[in-house]
Chains A and B, each alone.
Chain A
Amino acid sequence: MIVEYIIDAFVIILVLLGLFFLFTATVGLLRFPDFYCKLQATGKGDTLGAILILLGVILYNLHDFSLNNFLVCLKILFIIIFIFHANPVATHAITKAGLDADVKPLTKEDIRK
């Protein structure tokens, strides 16, 4: 019994941390001044946030251990690997498109004004 409570506590901590990082990513998307900085915030706050939430789901899924639940955990692990790989590639593609289209990046002086 007590083990289940400990697992639950870990699940709650992981999901809350993930939500926090997703929240900062969204706030960054709204607050940062230019195209590249906005991408900075979303491109990777998302990665860590989603991974933490999925880890929480994996832990929650291990409550009653059976082969089927274990397979579900493996599938979620594949989602994590996919996010880990696809997110930076997408971020780089969008940034490079912006660079090719001559989107001017802001510098320190522009922000001071």
Chain B
Amino acid sequence: MRREIVTFLILFLLWLIFSGMFDAFHLALGVVSCLIVTLISGDLIFQNERFTMNHIKEGIRFIKYLPWLIYQIILANIHVAYLVLHPKMPIEPIIIAYKAKLKRDISKVVFSQSIILTPGTITMDIVDDTFIVHCISKKVADDLFTGEMEQRIADVFERENTKRSL
């Protein structure tokens, strides 16, 4: 029941932002349509039956992780811009297999998305624990192998979840 209430609140907040009209008629329309959507598909946003404090803590830690990710994206974008505009184009494409220690599905997804967002590396496939990554130059491959990004994501999502199953 709790997750339905949270879902309804999120939907209604979105309605308020997108409509931008605050008279009674439009608010009533919003309440009705949000209720209908919640009744039909209220179980889509939150998969778990229980809604615990852990989710909120994870969310806060994830938001703290974002500035570092954006910093990395800017650094790596400058690197790719250098590669593109260099007359000789000094690229050395290489495909590497990176074995990660991440356990949960969500952390694997965030890790592969972070790999793709930092330019120069693309996650091509994930086979169990092994990430198959296409790197455009030696430097970005070395950056990945320092394991800093993986460590930060493990900090965000896998701190107190060792006992919880996937």
Q: A105 with B120: in contact, given A24-B80, A48-B77 (CB under 8 Å)?
A: no
Q: Does B95 lie at the interface of the complex (its beta carbon under 8 Å from any beta carbon of A)?
A: yes
Q: Does B89 lie at the interface of the complex (its beta carbon under 8 Å from any beta carbon of A)?
A: yes
Contacts of B92 in A (CB 8 A): 108, 111
Flag if B81 contacts A20 (CB, 8 Å): yes
Q: A68 with B20: in contact, given A32-B91, A107-B94 (CB under 8 Å)?
A: yes
Which residues of B124-142 have CB atoms within 8 Å of chain A's CB atoms? Answer: 124-125, 132, 134, 136
Flag if A43 contacts B77 (CB, 8 Å): no
Q: How large is the interface on B (under 10, 10 to 19, 20 to 34, 35 or more residues)?
A: 20 to 34
Q: How many residues of A contact B (CB 8 A)?
A: 39
CA distance A37 to B119 in the complex (A): 11
Stretch at the interface among A4-12, A57-65, A92-100: A92-100
Q: Does B84 lie at the interface of the complex (its beta carbon under 8 Å from any beta carbon of A)?
A: yes
Q: Does B116 lie at the interface of the complex (its beta carbon under 8 Å from any beta carbon of A)?
A: yes
A contact patch SS:
helix
Q: Which of A44, A91, A99 contacts B77 (CB 8 A)?
A: A44
Flag if B122 contacts A27 (CB, 8 Å): no
Contacts of B125 in A (CB 8 A): 96, 99
Q: Does A41 lie at the interface of the complex (its beta carbon under 8 Å from any beta carbon of B)?
A: yes
Flag if B77 contacts A105 (CB, 8 Å): no
Flag if B122 contacts A89 (CB, 8 Å): no
Known: A28-B80, A47-B73. 5 other contacts (CB 8 A): A36-B122, A40-B80, A40-B120, A88-B112, A108-B93
Residues of B near any A CB (own CB < 8 A): 17-18, 20, 73-74, 76-77, 80-81, 83-85, 89, 91-95, 112-113, 116-125, 132, 134, 136
